[in-house]
Chain A
């Protein structure tokens, strides 16, 4: 028994010594031999463990980077949110700059400071006053058109009445001068939305929906040619001698932040042609869109006809009847039934010899003014 224990102990010590010696040998190996041994082990039976460790390291890196990624994502979201308003502001400023370059002189750029009170939807504070050349009844305009008129002036700021104000009026007309009227605010029901109504338009003058209405220049406050709005529809009023039209305003006062105040000396020169280029560009764009639509429509029709012809030819080749009632090939091949001619019934009604009313040429009793187009 004691001998067996001694033998086992000796065996343990021999194995221990061997392992220790091997470990020391491994420790003493030069780098050129150490690396291949380790690499061989990593690439063979240790590969799954190495893979596990790599994945865990990556998981840890992901966990550590999660906060940074989240903060970066938050920053990006914030930037994206700001980008929309910045784009809008850029667009507005670009329009203002474009308007300024077209007006060229005689205007004061200003910031519109909106209040949040009850009457603030009809008035606005402007960041320019008498020191900048602003005077009472100076028109306030935006790139889109008419905004309002200055009614009080301080040295450094001024107070403007917007077109939504109940006391605001402007003489307006169609650009060709065929229809004149007085534009004023029109409150659309309890929701508080504002449109413009053009009152006092002569009964003989009709305006189509979508027609542009501009300031007429009469009255001495507003120069001619500033867009007021576009015609939506005619509304019925008790006035039988004139028409009243509802206009979609060119400018929504709530969206106006940068405006231009026209100085008195600029009014005498007028603003005709300033918005004309904008209107022409819009019209050209609309024409391009319309022509593009019609081209696409004709291309689609041609493609459909070609497809139908192919289907018909295939059906004909298979000996089956062609598809549909509008089969042109079948119509060509099948003989047409001979129509039975019947004699026409005798005309017993007397012929009306009086001239029809619609054949009489109409004459416009309104004399055409110089410069007007029909």
Chain B
């Protein structure tokens, strides 16, 4: 049963990779456009990220050294272009502001944050007290601004890791003092100086990667946004090409020949879908590999990438099958497919960050595999894993499922041979 399905799929994959024109569209065009977007956005010249004035709400309930240090960092001159911070007193109000799309993220620094890391009682630094959990900082993100929210989260993560680093340095220093016969609980030992000597209060060391002078970069690469953006846009070309091949085979007589071979109609159609699927997977896989090798783009968790590619290709293939079921000739599929590729590309954020679009268009963009795919790839590029992809993957699978269902109904109504 499945053997014939895969035979047809592999045959289609072989044919498309022998079509030079298709290869230009599938691989060369997205690759070149990615390079172009890299130049436009300054990725290759160390210029701006293109993302500025990220609205962020800070609720500092800690009101002590570390909480203040984080607030200072967010208001620092180094992040002045990137961040547009505002203060709030009530965490619930801050979350509400995010829910109403008033900012990209809220940072809630809870009361006792500093105390949990720099206890007034120094004995807590040792023994059982040192095993206690630090009070966590909450970053409440706006799902409609995944890139901005991701950047805020990355800055806070970086801050926390710096704090943890300093805390470990301090502990090490104190243990060395203890080993040298000095009692760390001796009031003459200046713990604050030790902490400060670890340069925690140097917020300038926290910068975005686009600042070439920043030694501690937040790992967000714009090409990790534009490369999948272009790959997803041209994936729409691939799925329409795959869909068109059904009508081309019908016109050239190979579909009727398949239909009179000992295979069921469902096997033949499934084979064509598998062909589209294989081609889409190969296309995105090659583009990811190429951008990783040539531009050192960090795509993130490999498992997450694999799962996301599968889901994105499934969602996109659903659109390819739908236009094939609607169109009557290969030329019609070509025209509709090209239009869809461009519209979905623009609408799905391949050229313009979705966060810069009006809310209405952001909602409309949810019908595109591009938007969900980009959401997922951005999450991965910002350090997320497969676990964080439940929303885009579910959306893409539902999208593909519905579109395939509608396509099958249309095919059944008109007959595979279009009688």
A binds B: no
